[in-house]
Amino acid sequence: MISMKEIGKICGISESTVSKALSGYAGIKPATRDRVQEVARKYGYQPNAMVKCMQTGVSQSIGIACNHFQDLFSGAIMDGVQEVLHQAHYDSYVISWDKLVRSGENLLNRFSRRRVDGLLLLPMAQVPTASYTTQLYSFPNPVVLVDQFWGSREFDYVGSNNREAMKELVGTLIMLGYRKIGAVFYSKVSSGVERRAGFIDAMIAHGLPVNADSLCEVEHCDSCELDEKVLRLLKSEDRPDVLVCFNDNLAVNVMNAARDLGLRIPEDLAVTGFGNLPFSDMIRPRLTTVDQQAEEIGRQAARLLLDRISGKGDIKRQEILIPARTILRQSSASDQNK
């Protein structure tokens, strides 16, 4: 890549004049300016972004830590994030979170060395260890957590109103006539804990008993294997009429397992998900779920981070909750009042 110094040599002028000519500085002879710009174009000159960073201390880039990329929820967040970054002329480094955790490498050091202006932490499969939290505290630039809490609640946060949204979903099921309501939760992430709480809120609010036997907790939420506990619940005499699941993926697994046992959906068992990922509308029966507006979560997270970087906005810690809405589809009956 040609440099300003080389362009200067070609034009027979100094490096600093080249700089002024290319930056559109006023006090330059038009002929000089035109000549410089012509040479720059001819040789495909592009300014070195590193230099600007060294001079200003601002890299115009952020780091994004993503668990992995085969996840439609994270993908939708990423699309929203990229949209906002692109408008702000910001670039982003991505790091695959689970690979770093496995290799024991310090994630933040890699970002620090690149001098990123801020950090976006997308949801991961499990709450990270204390040592990661410690690293985060010592990161000098703004950090925004997306759809997850980490240790304490000191960092800015953007995510769904998981608790309220789950309460609303369960409330809707109760309105539809469902009474025997079971659930399959995954509580290794903060969103799981919140949805679980929302479930219990709704049950209590409607005076329904929360039965320990029909409240399953699973160890993994992205594999195809379903926990033994869930299968037992599906086979039990006292099977619920509806199973509320932590997310869409789990819901599909539950539907498949139920049908393998000969249960009809939603007649024998209704199932609900959470996320409204694309496949929830592609499977049959279509899945009743909760739309999280993942792209909007991404957009707001990126905006908040950029505001933090530029020093705009409230100084106080921010917590932005994006409202999630119940989407009724075929996997729950429209009227359970028989």
Partner DNA sequence: CTGAAAGCGCTTACAG
Burial zone of 3 (CB within 10 Å; 0-12 exposed, 13-18 middle, 19+ buried):
middle
- Give the Cα separation of 301 and 141 in Å (integer): 15
Does 38 help bind its own copies (rule: CB under 8 A)?
no
Query: Which one of 13, 95, 197, 321 is in contact with DNA (CB under 7 A)?
Result: 13
CA angle 248, 252, 197 (to 5 degrees): 45
Rounded Cα gap, residues 289 and 278, in angstroms: 11
Handedness of CA 115, 121, 125, 129 (dihedral sign): positive
Interaction between residue 119 and its own copies (CB under 8 A): no
- Partner from its own copies, DNA, none contacting 110, C-beta within 5 to 8 A by type: its own copies
Preceding omega of 266 cis (within 30 degrees of 0): yes
Spatial distance between the Cα atoms of 233 and 213, rounded to a whole number of angstroms: 8
Residue nearer to DNA on the CB measure, 17 or 148:
17
Q: How far is the CB of 49 from DNA (least distance, A)?
A: 9
Contact status: 50 vs its own copies (CB under 8 A): yes
Q: Considering the complex, state which of residue 278 and residue 323 has its C-beta at the smaller distance from its own copies.
A: 278
Q: Sign of the C-alpha dihedral, residues 209, 213, 219, 224?
A: negative
Three-class secondary structure of residue 124 per DSSP: coil
> In the structure, how many helices (H) and strands (E) does the chain have?
13, 12
Q: Which range binds its own copies by CB under 8 A, 22-30, 68-76, 175-183, 194-202?
A: 68-76
Q: Does 55 bind DNA (CB under 7 A)?
A: yes
Stretch that binds its own copies, among 6-14, 45-53, 238-246, 326-334 (CB under 8 A): 45-53
| Binding partner of 20, given its own copies, DNA, none, CB within 5-8 angstroms per partner class | DNA
Among 52, 86, 264, 317, binds DNA (CB under 7 A): 52
Residues 24-43 binding DNA (CB under 7 A) are 27-30, 32
| 109 part of the interface to DNA, by CB under 7 A | no
Least separation in angstroms between residue 42's CB and DNA is 15
- Which of these ranges, 44-52, 124-132, 208-216, 292-300, lies near DNA under the rule CB under 7 A? 44-52
Cα separations (Å) of 57 from 49, 51, 142, 157, 315? 11, 10, 14, 25, 21
| Cα 207 off chain centre by | 34
Tell me whether residue 169 or residue 294 sits nearer to its own copies (CB atom): 294
Question: Binding residues for DNA, per CB under 7 A?
Answer: 3-5, 13-17, 19-20, 22-23, 27-30, 32, 45, 47-48, 51-52, 54-55, 57
